Amino acid sequence: MKKAVLLLTGLVLVFGLMTGMVSSQPPGINYVGAGKGMDANSALFSASPINIISSNATPQFPNAIVFEVQADSIAPIIDARLHFYVERDSFVKVVTEEKLDFISSTRINASYTWDMRYTGGLPTGTTVIFWWTITDASGWQITSEQQKVNFNDTRYVWKSLQQDKITLYWYGASNSLAQRLLDTSILGLSSLEANTGASLSRRVSIYIYDDASDMRGAMLFAQEWTGGVAYTSYGTIVIGINDFNITWGERALVHELAHMVNYQMTNNPYNGMPVWLEEGLAMYAEGSLELSFQQALISALSGGNLFSVRSISSPFSTDASLSYQKYAQSYSLVDFLISQYGQAKMASLLEIFRQGCAYDDALQAVYGFNMDGLYQAWLAFAMQKYVRA
């Protein structure tokens, strides 16, 4: 037990350094092992008077997690802190520290509610790691062992299927629909890899809700139109699919999976991918361009009112009619690069973006043209394919 506490405290100190947190030195920790019995505190530490009686975290999906601790000591407890972090992909581990409110006493009950309505929510299936530091009036401090709490959407009883790096969860759909969606996912990923060289490096969980309304119940700030979301840094996709929207559902699922692949292939702390490439790859993964998008593309090509590659490198506006054209142009740019230059060059482009390269430099290095050169070359290709054909 003592050993575990020491070991964990070591970890906490490392986290403290990584995140720039100031961590006070528990009195025992400095002396144990170093004092060789010379220091009175050494003996005291092995009989640390602070005792954590209970430690719990109760999820209230999707709104909150309630953390509770009970502790006692010989001297009154004067300070108790909760520390927690969320398991996700991140370049910096952010540990949150919360000082608890309680009346000083030799025995305390204290709690902290993490209200996600103020901080932003977490997707279902996320794990949160937490621990406590408790200090008494004699200057003793202990750090508890780390515990995990799983933040799951317990409104439904989930079944699951697994293949390769995908785990698919569902509750309402038939087993055959679930199997079909898993097959679609695997097929979509392998065709994406054949075209771009890109694949998942880490596990992905897909949660199939019965419909968009069930899915929105898992979100704190869901927009009305939300049909599917990829929480890329969590490796989680949530989407509403049933027998009646399966055609849309299969395309949308592969689209979100492609965003997951893009993220895992290129995520870096410096620079993202241009939006036309991000969305173009996701559209390309879905399969051939849908008719409505084709029509938007053809009319823009014929009318000569196209967006420059530069302008669709930044996030698309919410104007629905313009975003059709932006998605269609993004698809067509990716179609051009893959069909004319092949898989290996697309794989090199993604690798260069993983290094955080600027857009013009990345294109120049792989294809020998910048964004303006890409626009000109693509325009000739697209006119031939959609207008003069």
Q: Which positions lie near Zn ion, rule CB under 5 A? A: 279, 282
Residue 19 or 311: which CB sits closer to Zn ion? 311
CB of 240 to Zn ion, least distance (A): 16
| Chain-centroid distance, C-alpha 247 | 26
Residue 282 or 366: which CB sits closer to Zn ion? 282
- Tokens 């313009």 locate to 322
CB of 202 to Zn ion, least distance (A): 20
CB of 328 to Zn ion, least distance (A): 13
Residue 250 or 279: which CB sits closer to Zn ion? 279
CB of 334 to Zn ion, least distance (A): 12
Residue 214 or 256: which CB sits closer to Zn ion? 256
CB of 126 to Zn ion, least distance (A): 22
CB of 327 to Zn ion, least distance (A): 8
CA geometry: angle 29, 35, 41, nearest 5 deg: 60
CB of 253 to Zn ion, least distance (A): 12
Whose CB is nearest to Zn ion?
A: 282
Residue pair 387/301 in contact (Cβ under 8 Å)? The answer is yes
Residue 178 or 230: which CB sits closer to Zn ion? 230
CB of 156 to Zn ion, least distance (A): 26
Residue 130 or 263: which CB sits closer to Zn ion? 263
How many CA atoms are closer than 13 Å to the CA of 125, on its beta-carbon side?
20
Residue pair 330/279 in contact (Cβ under 8 Å)? The answer is yes
Residue 136 or 279: which CB sits closer to Zn ion? 279
Residue 57 or 285: which CB sits closer to Zn ion? 285
Q: Could you tell me the CA-to-CA distances from 362 to 74, 130, 350 in Å, in that order?
A: 64, 41, 9
Which residues make Cβ contacts (< 8 Å) with residue 282, sequence separation at least 6? Answer: 255, 256, 258, 259, 262
